[in-house]
Amino acid sequence: MNRPVAVSLEALVAVAAVAWATERLLPVLGLASSALLFLLPVLLASARGGLAPGLVTALAGAAAYNFFLLEPRFTFRVHELDNLVSVFVLGAVAVVTSRLASRLKAREAEALERARTSEQAAELSAVLAAGTPAAALDEGLALVARRYGTVRLLADGEPPDDAAFSSIDRAAAAWALHNGDCTGHGTQVMPAADWTFVPLAPKARRGSGVAAFARPAAGATRSEDELDQLRQVGLALGQARDRVVLEDERRERERLEERDALRRALLASLAHDFRTPLTVVIGRLELLARTQPEAQEALAAARRLDRRMTDLLGAARLEAGALAPTLEAVDLVDAVAAACDGIDLPADVALHRAIPADVPFVSADPVLLHHVLANLLDNALRHARAEVAIAAARTGDGVRLTVSDDGPGVPPDQRDAVFERFARGASGPAPADRSGGSGLGLAIVRGFAEAMGMTVTVETADSGGACFVLAMPVAPGAAS
């Protein structure tokens, strides 16, 4: 039995009870109080059952009142206007009460619906926040699918190339992606589509993917409310998806850092493993050479081997991206002096130094700069006939340091190639027997220089030899 009929029947029973009671007690209660009692069933009926049961009860109440209480009693005849008024009042009470009651009921239903929606949203958030981002997103998608039917995440907004999506679906998906609107079935935009597409991010960040919801089965349509929920679900899924992306990026970064650390550890142990035997060889040859001059040649070769080792390690550092220059104000007087101290000057070559004592400080990593200068000097000494010159001068906003030799020079068409790894001068052997380099020295010069924000080029020296030019920035705030 449906509810209005049940309520009406109950109310009619109540009317009968009131009629019976008032009929008996009329002498005690009086007519006015008895009439008021008929309001009770009407109030009950309209509050519980709404307008129709209220009106039915009002009519029944008025009839009972007329029949049992109004003179002439036990007839439906109406002598005076009284009865019309009572019918009208009972009817008005039924109308007003039922409207109030139904409004309250509607509000209650709304509140319940809101509570249910926010509970669902909270449940989804909890699922999306739990566990690893990827697992949480899968769980969340499963939950959403249970509630709203088939759902698919389109990360790049492009529906997969399968039969589930028609061309209008594709157009709707593209619109949702590019404009950040909800599109497709149930919306204002391309409602003819089978799927509903909601963006994964607020409009300001549109373009970062959409969620596609399949049309509900059995020809049902998505209501306005449901569409609002889908919009919220889309944003929640979007945030979860962002977390997955961030997590992936973090993992990738960690992996790279681990690999870098491994490379650095490998370089360090290589350095150690090569340097220890070299130390023994060089140390023993030094001792030997004190008494036996012929050991000198072996000693020089061992020292060269050590320099090549340094080159190899430097190249490996460049390759591994393990360079982290710390730039500070460096005095070229210091840098050039240290580099010159570290070289073995052949007896037949003169080294000229022209570093003005007041050259501005340059911005450099002192250790990398030391390698750069040492390699440039080493290179110049290997090609020089009789002279190597190192000089520095202030230019407009920087300092130009040159290392030049009087050797064969570098032909213009090879001026870029000499800085490549394993490049060798093609212009004949070095004049003296000073053996070739590793082919890495100049590559390291360029790599280290560029890491410090410097540029290195090669020109022709006045003597016709090579002139390497290192253009370096002046240190900020450096006094000249």
Partner 1 sequence: MSRILCVDDEPAILRLLTLVLARDGHEAITAADARQAMAAFDGGAIDAVLLDLGLPDRDGLELIPALLHRAKVPIIAVTARGEVADKVAALDLGASDYVTKPFDGDELLARLRAVLRNAGSQVATDGLLAAGPLHMDLGRHTASLRGTPVSLTPKEFALLRALIEAGGRVATHAALLERVWGKAHRDDVEYLRVTIRALRLKLEADPSRPDLIRNEPGVGYRLVAN
Binding site residues, partner 1, CB under 8 A: 268, 271-272, 275-284, 286-287, 306, 310, 328-331, 333-335, 337-338, 341, 353-357, 361, 365-367, 369-370, 475, 477-479
Nearer to partner 1, 33 or 480 (CB): 480
Q: Is the peptide bond before 360 cis (omega within 30 degrees of 0)?
A: no
Q: How far is the CB of 352 from partner 1 (least distance, A)?
A: 11
Provide the minimum distance between the beta carbon of 437 and partner 1 in the complex, in angstroms, as a whole number. Answer: 19
Q: Cβ of residue 360: shortest distance to partner 1, in angstroms? A: 11
Cα–Cα distance between 301 and 309 in angstroms, integer?
12
CB atoms within 10 A of CB 140: 25
Closer residue to partner 1 in complex, CB, 1/357: 357
In whole angstroms, what is the distance from residue 210 CA to residue 173 CA?
Answer: 7
Closer residue to partner 1 in complex, CB, 52/333: 333
Give the separation between CA 294 and CA 301, rounded to whole angstroms. Answer: 12
d(CA 340, CA 150): 75
Q: Which is nearer to partner 1, 222 or 307 (CB)?
A: 307
| 213-218: long-range contacts, CB 8 A cutoff, minimum separation 24 | 213/148, 213/149, 213/150, 213/151, 214/149, 214/150, 214/151, 214/164, 215/185, 216/149, 217/149
Pick the closer one to partner 1 by CB: 75 or 292: 292
* Of residues 225 and 328, the one with the C-beta less far from partner 1: 328
Q: Tokens at residue 467, please?
A: 């002139």
Alpha carbon 472 to chain centroid, angstroms? 37
Query: Cα(404)–Cα(468) distance, rounded to whole angstroms?
Result: 6
Q: How far is the CB of 228 from partner 1 (least distance, A)?
A: 57
Order of strands, edge to edge, in the sheet holding 350-354? Answer: 350-354, 387-394, 398-405, 466-473, 455-460
Report, in Å, the least distance between residue 368 CB and partner 1: 9
How near is the Cβ of 302 to partner 1 at its closest, in Å?
A: 8
Q: At what angle do helices 224-291 and 82-129 cross, to 10 degrees?
A: 20
Q: Which residues pair with 456 in a beta bridge?
A: 470
Task: Please state, as a whole number, how many other Cβ atoms lie within 10 Å of the Cβ of residue 288.
Answer: 15
CB of 474 to partner 1, least distance (A): 12
Inter-residue contact 140 to 128 (CB < 8 Å): yes
Nearest approach, Cβ of residue 371 and partner 1 (Å): 9
Distance, in Å, from the CA atom of 334 to the CA atom of 402, rounded to the nearest integer, reads 16
**Cβ distance to partner 1 smaller for residue 39 or 452:** 452
Is 30 or 283 the residue whose CB approaches partner 1 more closely?
283
Min CB(261)–partner 1 separation in Å: 15
Q: Looking at beta carbons only, is 410 or 475 nearer to partner 1?
A: 475
Single-letter amino acid code for the residue at 372: V
Which amino acid is it at 65?
Y
The residue (of 176 and 380) whose beta carbon lies closer to partner 1 is 380
For residue 9, the 8-state DSSP code is H
Q: The tokens 């006094």 sit on which residue?
A: 479
d(CA 409, CA 337): 25
DSSP helix/strand/coil, 350: strand
Question: CB of residue 128 vs partner 1: minimum separation in angstroms?
Answer: 45
Q: What is the DSSP letter of 320?
A: T
Q: Which is nearer to partner 1, 185 or 307 (CB)?
A: 307
Q: Where are the alpha helices (DSSP H) in 210-223?
A: none
Between strands 210-214 and 195-199, the pairing is antiparallel
Q: Strand 195-199: give its sheet, edge to edge.
A: 151-154, 210-214, 195-199, 183-184
Write down the least CB distance from residue 375 to partner 1, Å.
13
Residue (77 or 353) nearer to partner 1, CB:
353
- Closest CB to partner 1 among residues 103, 353: 353
Q: Is 165 helix (H, G, I), strand (E, B) or coil?
A: coil
What's the min distance (Å) between Cβ of 355 and partner 1? 5
- Shortest reach from residue 141's CB to partner 1, in Å: 49
